[in-house]
Amino acid sequence: MERGQIPAILAAAVVVVLCAISAHVSEARDLKQGFVVQGRVFCDTCRAGFETPATTYIAGAKVSVECRSKTSGAKTGSYNGVTDHTGTYNILIAKEHENEICESVLISSADSGCASLVKGRERARVFLTRNNGIATDFRFANALGFQKDTPVAGCAQLLKMYEENEV
């Protein structure tokens, strides 16, 4: 083998390897189809209507991601999940729902002492399309909440702190 042939052979080998890697990455990109909707379910222990330092999170709460047509309103999909010990749910959605309205929706609480819906926090919109500039397959929903029938001790003082900080 002549001296000039070795760099040419190495260059050709590098090109072949780069083409193979590029094809593999492109193939992996084409296989991506689904999304994971992630969110948390809280117990509003102070009946504040939002999360506070006294908020706890509910394990075993049932949540659903529901999609419906933007034009007819007909249901096009429903995907169920349950929260883990941190009150977090991860629901796999198998396909895009670009032309649909999708929301995470509370179904039920596993905590009988905290089972009333917090008005305005019972559902959260999620966008299940790749045509929106979001680079990952994770979609994060706003926290969903239930509330106790009566506030726990110390809530009056805690909520007063919020009043003092209002401008």
- Inter-CA distances, 31 with 20, 98, 99, 102, Å: 17, 18, 21, 23
Q: Indicate if 15 and 44 belong to the same structural domain.
A: no
**Does residue 79 sit in the same domain as residue 38?**
yes
Tell me: pLDDT of 143 over 90.
yes
Same domain, 68 and 52: yes
Mean pLDDT along residues 67-94? 95
CA angle 155–160–165, rounded 5-degree value = 135
81 and 39 assigned to the same domain: yes
More confident residue, 4 or 82: 82
- How far is Cα 41 from Cα 121, in angstroms, rounded to an integer? 10
Q: Show the domain range for 128.
A: 34-164
pLDDT at res. 80: 97
Instruction: Find, among 91, 90, 92, 84, the residue nearest to 57 by Cα.
Output: 84
Q: pLDDT value at position 96?
A: 87
Q: Residues 130, 144: one domain?
A: yes
Same domain for 70 and 55, yes or no, is yes
The pLDDT tens digits of the residues spanning 7-56 come to 656 555 555 555 555 544 444 444 357 899 999 999 999 999 999 999 99
For residues 94 and 34, the answer to whether their CB atoms sit within 8 Å is yes
Task: Report the distance separating Cα 66 and Cα 124, nearest Å.
Answer: 10
Could you tell me the two tokens for 35?
């999304």
Residue 52: partners with Cβ closer than 8 Å, 6 or more residues away? 44, 45, 46, 158, 159, 162
Q: Are residues 46 and 128 in the same domain?
A: yes
HSE at residue 37, side-chain half, CA atoms within 13 A, is 33
Global confidence as pTM: 0.76
The CATH number of the domain where 65 resides is what?
2.60.40
Shared domain for 6 and 39, answered yes or no, is: no
**Do 1 and 54 sit in the same domain of this protein?**
no
In the structure, what pLDDT confidence band is assigned to residue 139 with cuts at 50, 70 and 90?
Answer: very high
Our count of domains for the chain comes to 2
User: Do 125 and 149 fall within a single domain?
Assistant: yes
Which pLDDT value is given to residue 27?
40
